Amino acid sequence: MLEIRNLHAKIADTDTEIIRGLNLTVKAGEVAAIMGPNGSGKSTLSYILSGREDYEVTEGDILYNGESILEMDASERAASGIFLAFQYPVEIPGVATMQFLKVAMNEQRKYRGEDELTTPEFMRRVKEAAADLRIAPEMLRRPLNVGFSGGEKKRAEILQMGLLEPKLCVLDETDSGLDIDALKIVSDGVNALRSPDRAFLVITHYQRLLEHIVPDTVHVLYKGQVIKTGDKTLAMELEANGYADIIGAAA
């Protein structure tokens, strides 16, 4: 589903390279965990996948279902099924959450040549998804993410993911800021979406999340490269010993 080949990327308009020859393959149905020390380039990778223009790919390619997405802008990538749950969701005053959800869902449908949702159908879907994630309807009446607590923002991201039904889901530290109960609720939400035609890239620092969302593969990112790949036991190893050994071995 996703194939990243020898990817090099820098901060646009500078010479600062952040991703330095990264290779990664994720198959349909797979849950791939991405771990790695602070500043290793995990969020940058997620931004580049989503099409953020602050970064510039200088070498390599990103193939999604066999085709390069480098020429697509963020909205086209999203509409073709790539979703990023942000590490730091953005507050947008003046944009009502409900209006935003409706426009996003319908614009994606339009892009794929599907009919727009009727208002009752839209309302039904939002209500149901919000209830599953224990999101109060009151929260949805506010401007997008404005004044939401850290945990509420993360839940709102997963709500959007559920409603937009993407094929490739990138979760950037969705667990940070969630209390123990919320972690369970959000993980259940993610697990409910697991299916043979959907892949997940789960960026996290902690084994705790991976006990709920059990990964098929675990990849360690360091200085913009994948330096080690393993199965779920690799995450446990890291939890016990830290990154020093792996970084040492790779150097």
Ligand X SMILES: Nc1ncnc2c1ncn2[C@@H]1O[C@H](COP(=O)(O)OP(=O)(O)OP(=O)(O)O)[C@@H](O)[C@H]1O
- C-alpha count within 13 angstroms, C-beta hemisphere, residue 4: 19
* Radius of gyration for the chain, computed over Cα atoms and rounded to the nearest angstrom: 18
Nearer to ligand X, 83 or 162 (CB): 83
Examine residue 215 and tell whether it contacts other proteins (CB under 8 A): no
| Of 25, 100, 117, 247, the one binding other proteins by CB under 8 A | 100
Nearer to other proteins, 140 or 246 (CB): 140
Residue 246 token pair = 């792996």
Among the candidate windows 107-115, 118-126, 148-156, 176-184, which touches other proteins by CB under 8 A?
A: 107-115
Residue carrying the six token digits 């409900």 = 98
Quick one: CA dihedral 198, 193, 72, 9, positive or negative? Answer: negative
Tell me the C-alpha to C-alpha distance, in Å, between residue 193 and each of 29, 105, 159, 165, 210: 10, 17, 11, 8, 16
Check: CB of residue 22 under 8 Å from CB of residue 219. Answer: no
CA 55 – CA 43 distance, rounded (Å) = 12
Residue ranges in 65-104 that form contacts with ligand X under rule CB under 6 A: 87
Question: Residues 6 or more apart from 160 whose CB is under 8 A from it?
Answer: 83, 85, 101, 104
| Of 57, 104, 139, 236, the one binding other proteins by CB under 8 A | 104
Examine residue 40 and tell whether it contacts Mg ion (CB under 5 A): no
Examine residue 108 and tell whether it contacts other proteins (CB under 8 A): yes
Examine residue 65 and tell whether it contacts other proteins (CB under 8 A): no
CA angle 66, 89, 49 (to 5 degrees): 15
Residue 40 binding result from ligand X, Mg ion, other proteins, none, given CB thresholds of 5 to 8 Å by partner type:
ligand X
One-letter amino acid at 58 equals T
Residue 219 token pair = 């990849």
Residue 114 binding result from ligand X, other proteins, Mg ion, none, given CB thresholds of 5 to 8 Å by partner type:
none
Residue ranges in 130-169 that form contacts with other proteins under rule CB under 8 A: 143, 160, 164
Examine residue 43 and tell whether it contacts Mg ion (CB under 5 A): yes
Q: How far is the CB of 103 from other proteins (least distance, A)?
A: 6
End-to-end CA distance of the chain: 30
- Provide the binding-site residues for other proteins, judged by CB under 8 A: 50-53, 73-75, 77-79, 84, 86, 89-90, 92-95, 99-100, 103-104, 107-108, 111, 143, 160, 164
Query: Where does this chain bind Mg ion (CB under 5 A)?
Result: 42-43, 87
